[in-house]
């Protein structure tokens, strides 16, 4: 997709403050804004431009070495402390402060821009950052193009907002933004109780890895604008196995408000080498190696006894040496304090900063230093720790080098006159194409889990009873890690509630709309039940919009159980008794246990936290108006009892009943990858495979050949629509002694496609040893030899193929499927 990009007209441009912006049709000069805000301070400005580190003809390493050689020990930790703005400048060398940290999870988490320009004139307060659906919604789009395009939009908006010195979205408007995003979050959704499931695209490490990769590529590298510099920086988090919030887990994994004390700050994740290699590392490995992520955040928790930010194995061996990571590592906020205070891993702060620096934690995100009582452990203790010999100055320099290199790669030490990234118009923020992309993302993310009697699409003449705690909501739909979504009041046309969205649709195409909330998200108040049941009884169709909210799940807040809140269940039961035609629409981060209501409703739509355009998008999807989209669920919808069968604190993926679709041995309400399309039907058929047959001559084939399996996908209906096709493998011959024998299935490829009615297309998935790689019981990556089953599916239709991997690593298929493919 073609996003609007900012181009400079070099011939005519005025120095620095003339903005030229290519909107779809017109060039707009923007000169007037120069008065409205100051550009961020720059390094290497006269009289500080004569240093070799300012000379952009010199190799980067030399420039950084030169700068480091000019710093004294006391100055260095100032360059290693996040959220320190407006402190952190080294004025004697002309180095301005730089604020490490910004969040860009699903949009820049900043305030709105100070000015809005129309036709070259300041006309008032500026645009707010575009807000996309939350990652758990984005995961169910299975759309790589979308993820990358969103990354591009966020990176561009971050640059535009940064140029205007816009602050993070905090009440006191500090600090102002940096250019390194502390996102995406690609920890898997290991357990449905985890409070931060909404931030993660999926329970599957492969999907999380692809999401992290595409998000990073879009965010960091806008080569259409300038291939030389990073547009922004992705900081993958939380490395690694960040998966528990608390606050009330007991050491044995029970929930106890009275004596539970295990939180994200003191968790010790016990992880086998096998699970580490196959579950907890792959998403990060992919986003580093294929996405080129330039940042990573070490997590609060311990891994097998060692705090992540003090974990030399994790940060040096795995990240830098095995994966060739080139970037910076930051602690999570307060992570240094946790090493000592929560994990009791060190005895004093001198030792704490030493273990973190030695391990490779370059930057400390202290407890909002600009506001707090201390400057952070790095600033207060690094010089002393060096003098005590606990850490060498070379280790400090290594951290400074990693941190500075990012600032150089962002173009912050080079002349800005020829840098398009220093000339981005404020007008691109929340520009029409960006909003359009966010709306498409929401549309593509809806998952229709159930649709009895084809109740969706809703008949246009139906009378609708819109019921449920979220029908008037304008904030739960937005999720968390939010920028300032609206200037002023959200009800001022900025965020359309689902009720308003239905109102708009029913005005033009449909029957009457009745509405009553009926109950709150939780609690015991049944006083408004009768009203809701009353309108349900007179309507043709009930749309119930319920689920969870930030009071039930979020950062520092796991759910002790996963059931749909009881009050909503009760109301749904009463409604179903008077009108069985109920469509249940769910807002949620983690999955919701549906056992109590699944039979009470005819359709179920999972929305995740779908963003500010949900009110506009949902009704159109339910009526089948202009919505061809729909997605597939990227999580397993377990039965309610799963929380009694799995221990929150246990990280073993294969321990019965097994976690996620990859290991779960039960029969869930809805499987990973499930999702219906109400408008059409797709058919999958085997098309071809260029894998050699396992016959006499196959050994002559090179292992390096590109093999694939192809299916044809046909749209058998009368409406154009999207479909997602996924490819899984499962090895069938793994010895029981290997933990990999518990694997039930592993996704290794997926494509989202669009098909007109009657059309069909071929979708191919490459098959290689890499794609089939797992690990042995000591965690060594390995492609097992033996028989495998490949399944290509849209969640409904399935095409399967058996293949073999020989001891020599040669892949072949068992029987010729098409005579014509033999030669």
Total residues interacting with ligand NAG, rule: CB under 6 A: 56
Write out the DSSP string of 280-339.
ISHHHHHHHHTT---EEEE-SSEETTEEGGG-HIIIIIIIIIIT---SEEEE-TTHHHHH
Would you give the end-to-end CA distance of the chain in angstroms? 40
* Inter-axis angle of helices 393-409 and 60-69, nearest 10: 130
Please tell me whether residue 119 binds ligand NAG under the rule CB under 6 A: yes
Please tell me whether residue 244 binds ligand NAG under the rule CB under 6 A: no
Residue in the shown chain whose Cβ atom is closest to ligand NAG: 348
Closest distance of CB 395 from ligand NAG, Å:
17
**Between 164 and 277, whose beta carbon lies closer to ligand NAG?**
164
Which of 43, 79, 230, 648 is in the footprint of ligand NAG by CB under 6 A?
Answer: 230
| DSSP category for residue 112 | P
Under a CB-based contact definition with an 8 Å cutoff, are residues 82 and 368 in contact? no
Q: Which of 683, 710, 682, 714 is nearest to 801 (CA)?
A: 710
Please tell me whether residue 86 binds ligand NAG under the rule CB under 6 A: yes
Please tell me whether residue 250 binds ligand NAG under the rule CB under 6 A: yes
Under a CB-based contact definition with an 8 Å cutoff, are residues 95 and 63 in contact? no
* Interactions with ligand NAG, residue window 640-699 (CB under 6 A): none
Please tell me whether residue 174 binds ligand NAG under the rule CB under 6 A: yes
Helix (H), strand (E) at residue 578? helix 566-578
Closest distance of CB 711 from ligand NAG, Å:
16
Q: What is the dihedral of CA 258, 262, 264, 270, to 10 degrees?
A: -160
Q: Which of 180, 226, 275, 332 is catalytic?
A: 332
What counts of helices (H) and strands (E) characterise the chain?
Answer: 18, 29
Closest distance of CB 392 from ligand NAG, Å:
16
Please identify, among the stretches 167-175, 181-189, 411-419, 587-595, the one whose residues bind ligand NAG according to the rule CB under 6 A: 167-175
Distance CA 377, CA 388 (A): 15
Closest distance of CB 731 from ligand NAG, Å:
31
> What track of x and - describes contact with ligand NAG for positions 184 through 223 (by CB under 6 A)?
-------------------------------------x-x
Please identify, among the stretches 84-92, 456-464, 662-670, 804-812, the one whose residues bind ligand NAG according to the rule CB under 6 A: 84-92
Structure tokens at 253: 């994994």
**Between 169 and 444, whose beta carbon lies closer to ligand NAG?**
444
Please identify, among the stretches 268-276, 499-507, 652-660, 777-785, the one whose residues bind ligand NAG according to the rule CB under 6 A: 499-507
Sheet with 541-547, edge to edge strand ranges: 447-451, 603-608, 582-587, 541-547, 464-467, 513-516
Q: Which of 663, 783, 808, 660 is nearest to 733 (CA)?
A: 783
**Between 272 and 350, whose beta carbon lies closer to ligand NAG?**
350
Structure tokens at 266: 């003191």
Please tell me whether residue 422 binds ligand NAG under the rule CB under 6 A: no
Please tell me whether residue 89 binds ligand NAG under the rule CB under 6 A: yes
Please tell me whether residue 349 binds ligand NAG under the rule CB under 6 A: yes
- 3 state DSSP class of 163: helix
Distance CA 782, CA 226 (A): 40
Distances (CA, A) of 298 to 301, 376, 451, 778, 795: 9, 17, 42, 24, 35
Which of 69, 170, 256, 800 is in the footprint of ligand NAG by CB under 6 A?
Answer: 256
**Between 401 and 639, whose beta carbon lies closer to ligand NAG?**
401
Which of 12, 224, 317, 754 is in the footprint of ligand NAG by CB under 6 A?
Answer: 754
Helix (H), strand (E) at residue 212? helix 205-220
* Interactions with ligand NAG, residue window 538-597 (CB under 6 A): none
Structure tokens at 744: 């039930």
Structure tokens at 351: 């030792």
Which of 118, 172, 756, 770 is in the footprint of ligand NAG by CB under 6 A?
Answer: 118
Please identify, among the stretches 118-126, 272-280, 296-304, 590-598, the one whose residues bind ligand NAG according to the rule CB under 6 A: 118-126
Please tell me whether residue 761 binds ligand NAG under the rule CB under 6 A: no
Distances (CA, A) of 820 to 564, 762, 804: 53, 17, 21
Which of 180, 338, 405, 500 is in the footprint of ligand NAG by CB under 6 A?
Answer: 500
Closest distance of CB 501 from ligand NAG, Å:
6
Please tell me whether residue 807 binds ligand NAG under the rule CB under 6 A: no
Bridge partners (DSSP) listed for residue 708: 766
Active site residue 61: no
Which of 45, 388, 509, 732 is in the footprint of ligand NAG by CB under 6 A?
Answer: 388
Please tell me whether residue 289 binds ligand NAG under the rule CB under 6 A: no
Write out the DSSP string of 355-416.
HHHHHT--BEE-S-TTTSSS--HHHHHHHHHHHTTSS-HHHHHHHHHHHHHHHHHTTTTS-S
Closest distance of CB 79 from ligand NAG, Å:
11
* Interactions with ligand NAG, residue window 47-76 (CB under 6 A): 55, 57-58
Distance CA 439, CA 608 (A): 14
Structure tokens at 378: 């790095």
Please tell me whether residue 741 binds ligand NAG under the rule CB under 6 A: no
Q: How many residues does the chain have?
A: 823
Please tell me whether residue 722 binds ligand NAG under the rule CB under 6 A: yes
Closest distance of CB 811 from ligand NAG, Å:
29
Closest distance of CB 312 from ligand NAG, Å:
22
- 3 state DSSP class of 452: helix
Please tell me whether residue 90 binds ligand NAG under the rule CB under 6 A: yes
Which of 71, 146, 156, 424 is in the footprint of ligand NAG by CB under 6 A?
Answer: 146
* CA angle 751–297–646, rounded 5-degree value: 70
Please identify, among the stretches 262-270, 437-445, 731-739, 769-777, the one whose residues bind ligand NAG according to the rule CB under 6 A: 437-445
Q: Which residues bind ligand NAG (CB under 6 A)?
A: 1, 38, 40-41, 55, 57-58, 86, 89-92, 118-119, 123, 143, 145-146, 149, 165, 167, 174-176, 221, 223, 227, 229-230, 250, 254, 256, 258-259, 348-350, 384, 388, 437, 440, 444, 493, 496, 500-501, 503-504, 522-524, 616, 722, 752-754
Catalytic residues: 332
């Amino acid at each position: 997709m073609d996003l609007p990009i900012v181009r400079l007209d070099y011939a005519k441009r005025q120095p620095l403050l003339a903005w030229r912006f290519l909107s779809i049709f017109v060039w707009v000069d923007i000169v007037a804004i120069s008065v409205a805000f100051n550009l961020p301070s720059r390094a290497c400005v006269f009289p500080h431009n004569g240093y070799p580190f300012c000379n952009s003809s010199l190799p980067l390493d030399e420039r950084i070495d030169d700068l480091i050689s000019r710093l004294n020990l006391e100055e260095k930790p100032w360059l290693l402390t996040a959220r320190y703005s407006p402190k952190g400048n080294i004025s004697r060398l002309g180095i301005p402060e730089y604020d490490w940290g910004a969040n860009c999870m699903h949009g820049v988490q900043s305030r709105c821009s100070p000015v809005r320009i129309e036709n070259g004139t300041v006309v008032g307060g500026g645009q707010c950052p575009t807000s996309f659906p939350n990652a758990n919604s984005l995961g169910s789009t299975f759309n790589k193009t979308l993820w990358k395009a969103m990354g591009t939009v966020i990176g561009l908006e971050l640059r535009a907002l940064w140029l205007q010195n816009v602050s993070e979205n905090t009440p006191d408007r500090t600090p102002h933004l940096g250019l390194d995003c502390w996102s995406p979050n690609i920890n898997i959704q290991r357990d449905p109780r985890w409070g931060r499931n909404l931030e993660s695209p999926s329970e599957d490490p492969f999907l999380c890895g692809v999401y992290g990769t595409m998000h990073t590529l879009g965010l960091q590298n806008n080569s259409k604008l300038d291939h030389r510099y990073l547009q922004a920086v992705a900081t993958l988090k939380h490395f690694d196995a960040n998966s528990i919030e608390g606050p009330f887990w007991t050491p044995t994994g029970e929930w106890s408000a009275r004596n539970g004390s295990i939180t994200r700050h003191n968790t010790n994740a016990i992880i086998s080498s096998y699970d580490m290699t196959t579950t907890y590392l792959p998403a990060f490995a992919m986003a580093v190696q294929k996405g080129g992520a330039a940042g990573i955040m070490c997590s609060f928790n311990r891994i097998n006894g060692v705090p992540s930010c003090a974990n030399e194995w994790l940060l040096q061996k795995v990240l830098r040496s095995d994966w060739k990571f080139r970037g910076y590592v930051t602690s999570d906020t307060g992570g240094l304090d946790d090493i000592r205070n929560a994990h009791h891993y060190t005895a004093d702060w001198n030792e704490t900063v030493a273990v973190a620096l030695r391990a490779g934690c370059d930057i400390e995100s202290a407890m909002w230093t600009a506001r707090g009582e201390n400057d952070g452990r790095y600033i207060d203790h690094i010089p002393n720790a060096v003098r005590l010999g606990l850490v060498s100055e070379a280790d400090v320099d290594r951290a400074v080098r990693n941190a500075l290199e990012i600032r150089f790669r962002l173009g912050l030490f080079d002349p800005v006159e020829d840098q398009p990234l220093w000339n981005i118009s404020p007008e691109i923020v929340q520009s029409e194409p960006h909003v359009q992309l966010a709306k498409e993302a929401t549309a593509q993310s809806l998952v229709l889990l159930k649709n009895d009697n084809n109740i969706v699409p809703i008949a246009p003449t139906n009378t609708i009873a819109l019921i449920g705690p979220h029908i008037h909501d304008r904030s739960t739909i937005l999720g968390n890690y939010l920028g300032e979504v609206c200037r002023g009041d959200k009800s001022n046309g900025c965020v359309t509630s689902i009720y308003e969205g239905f109102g708009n649709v029913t005005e033009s195409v449909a029957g009457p709309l009745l509405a009553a909330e009926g109950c709150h998200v939780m609690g015991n108040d049944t006083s408004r039940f009768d009203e809701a049941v009353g309108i349900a009884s007179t309507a043709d169709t009930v749309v119930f919009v319920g689920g969870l909210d930030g009071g039930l799940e979020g950062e520092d807040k796991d759910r002790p159980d996963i059931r749909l809140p009881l009050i909503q269940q009760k109301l749904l039961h009463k409604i179903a008794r008077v009108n069985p035609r109920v469509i249940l629409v769910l807002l949620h981060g983690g999955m919701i246990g549906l056992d109590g209501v699944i039979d009470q409703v005819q359709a179920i739509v999972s929305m995740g936290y779908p963003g500010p355009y949900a009110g506009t998008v949902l009704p159109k999807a339910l009526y089948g108006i202009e919505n061809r989209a729909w997605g597939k669920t990227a999580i397993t919808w377990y039965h309610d009892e799963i929380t009694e069968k799995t221990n929150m604190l246990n990280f073993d993926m294969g321990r019965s009943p097994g976690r996620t679709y990859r290991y779960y041995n039960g029969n869930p309400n809805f499987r990973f990858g499930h999702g219906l399309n109400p408008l059409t039907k797709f058919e999958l058929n085997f098309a071809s495979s260029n894998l050699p047959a396992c016959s006499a001559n196959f050994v002559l084939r090179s292992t390096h050949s590109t093999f694939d399996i192809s299916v044809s996908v046909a749209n058998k209906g009368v409406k154009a629509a999207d479909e997602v096709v996924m490819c899984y493998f499962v090895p069938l011959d793994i010895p029981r002694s290997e933990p990999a024998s518990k694997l039930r299935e592993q996704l290794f490829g997926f494509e989202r496609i669009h098909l007109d009615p009657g059309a069909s297309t071929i979708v191919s998935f490459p098959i290689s040893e890499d794609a089939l790689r797992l690990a042995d019981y000591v965690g060594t990556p390995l492609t097992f030899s033996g028989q495998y089953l490949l399944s290509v599916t849209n969640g409904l239709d399935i095409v399967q193929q058996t293949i073999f991997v020989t001891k020599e690593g040669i892949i072949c298929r068992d029987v010729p499927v098409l005579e014509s493919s033999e030669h």
